[in-house]
Amino acid sequence: MTIHWHGIRQLRTGWADGPAYITQCPVQPGESYVYNFTVSEQRGTLLWHAHILWLRATIHGAIIVLPNHAQPYPFPKPHKEEVLLLDMRYSCCLELNSSFNDYKPDYSKYAGEWWKSDVEAVIDEAMASGNAPNVSDAHTINGHPGPRSDCLGQGGYKLVVMPAKTYLLRIINAALNTELFFKIAAHNLTVVEVDAAYVKPFATDTILLAPGQTTNVLLTTDQPTARYQITASPFKSSPVTIDNTTATATVIYAGTSASAATILADRPPQNATPIAAAFTQSLRGLNSAAYPSRVPLRIDHSLLFTIGLGLADCPGCANSLRLRVVADINNVTFVMPRIALLNAHFFGIGGVFTDDFPARPAAPYDYTGAKQPENLRTMMGTRLYRLAYNSTVQVVLQGTGMLFPENHPIHLHGSNFFAVGKGLGNFNPDKDPKGFNLVDPVERNTIAVPSGGWVAIRFRADNPGVWFLHCHLEVHTSWGLKMAFVVDNGKGPNESLLPPPNDLPKC
Ligand code: C2O
């Protein structure tokens, strides 16, 4: 087992970051490891989750970092705060004992997925067959799928509110493999924060979260006393239908009569790309005097990463083509090492990784017209990209859609990044940078790269260590859609990775 504190920077404490074989070896049954780190200069909603195999399906929860008393929220103090965790559970009827009900501070709600089968068996079967894995059986809001015919007695999560108040909802997508739309019937939501970074407030009736993303919204209870449906429903740009259902919960105004009907939310269709695009285009960093944007204006490393699914030879696979689905960045399918990369880096152990990760794809590409077959095949490797301390990086993440038109929520460990541009089609290095937003780009730790489109992100490599970059759709990570940056120490007194703790597990 390992635990990752998703979005916590881990400044100089990469040993506590958690991804198995990247920053640590797994904690074995009966053993223990203390994750020791300081949260500084960060506040907001994040999540923690297991970071080995598919265990984050069931091992996850909310992280709430409250603001410093001297520097309260940059918006009026809410009447109350609630956590909404959107997730997946593998057994509906275990819910009554779930950790969500033990979660005492009266905070947010979560979203997720619900599996009837053992998720490790699901991915093992998929990896052995070379085919795509099964989808979950349902999504959930704070552990409940909502009223369902196959889960009697489970009424779904209820949020009781007072009229004419403002609530801060901390919404977390903890699902394994699905982007989710979130809605509350008849109410607008004012978005104030994503991934624990403040944004310029804007009102919307629908929000969108990729797995690993968090969104804080203000809900003002300005509607007539009644019961209102909350929905968390899948967004897929691909035509493949996901057959798991929408999770539902209810906002109930205090004093609503028990017999009152629930006002339903009209959830977006599964492929509502325009709604998704309108939401992401509205996101701007707050960039106020108290929270100025720290987007790097000058760039030392300009990288272009093509990301997508590809094919590799698989003599042992059961399918007739003897090929298996793999995923890659710049046609490199990442191979997990046998000892942790951070260990190999810190102690200078050779033969574990190379630092020759390609800065751009080798072959010319066109992901909108005639797709080149050479872009479909991948090579294996544990290849890292090396960055000098404090250097600045721009990565254009180009979605390829070679096999399936799918979005990829890409997550970077160790640093937040700024999303300076996005577009459809092939990135044009001569034209597209002219339209970049270098004033108030949204700051986040996970960003959805559109299928057959691109996003450009920037960050400063001021955190020495080894930092994982991967697709937060767990199935794509299993297939190899991952790489890591190695950030060297600086020369200053506080510019180097701290030594490993004594109880760090051994491989
Ligand atoms: Cu939330 Cu590396 O993941």
Which residues does residue 482 pair with via DSSP β-bridges, in sequence order?
Answer: 470
Model pLDDT, residue 404: 66
pLDDT in tens, 66-90: 998 888 899 999 999 999 998 755 3
Q: Is the CB of 411 under 6 A from ligand 1?
A: yes
Which of 228, 229, 188 has the alpha carbon at shortest distance from 207? 188
Report whether pLDDT(110) > 50.
Answer: no
What number is the average pLDDT over the span 330-346? 96
Instruction: Fill in the amino acid letter for 388.
Output: A
pLDDT in tens, 341-356: 999 999 999 999 999 9
Distance from Cα 51 to the centre of ligand 1, integer Å: 7
Estimate to the nearest angstrom the gap between the alpha carbon of 324 and the chain centroid: 25
Which of 222, 151, 236 has the alpha carbon at shortest distance from 184? 222
User: What contacts 253, CB < 8 A, 6 or more positions away?
Assistant: 160, 161, 162, 163, 221, 223, 224, 225, 226, 227, 228
Structure tokens at 337: 């090492």
Report whether pLDDT(95) > 80.
Answer: no
> Strand 332-334 and strand 379-381: pairing?
parallel
Which of 484, 502, 467, 408 has the alpha carbon at shortest distance from 9? 467
Report whether pLDDT(126) > 50.
Answer: yes
CA gap 408, 410 in Å, rounded:
6
Q: Is the CB of 345 under 6 A from ligand 1?
A: no
Q: Is the CB of 470 under 6 A from ligand 1?
A: yes
Distance from Cα 6 to the centre of ligand 1, integer Å: 6
Tell me the domains of the chain and their CATH numbers: 75-281 (2.60.40.420), 301-487 (2.60.40.420)
CB atoms within 10 A of CB 166: 17
Distance from Cα 228 to the centre of ligand 1, integer Å: 33
Which residues does residue 448 pair with via DSSP β-bridges, in sequence order?
Answer: 409
User: What contacts 106, CB < 8 A, 6 or more positions away?
Assistant: 80, 81, 82
Rg of the chain over Cα atoms, rounded to whole angstroms, equals 22
pLDDT in tens, 484-496: 999 999 999 999 9
Please tell me the least confidently modeled range out of 152-156, 196-200, 282-286, 476-480.
Answer: 152-156
Mean pLDDT of the chain: 88
Q: Is the CB of 476 under 6 A from ligand 1?
A: no
pLDDT in tens, 17-73: 999 999 999 999 999 999 999 998 899 999 999 999 888 887 889 999 999 888 889
Model pLDDT, residue 376: 73
Structure tokens at 297: 């204006």
CA gap 89, 116 in Å, rounded:
8
Which residues does residue 83 pair with via DSSP β-bridges, in sequence order?
Answer: 108, 170
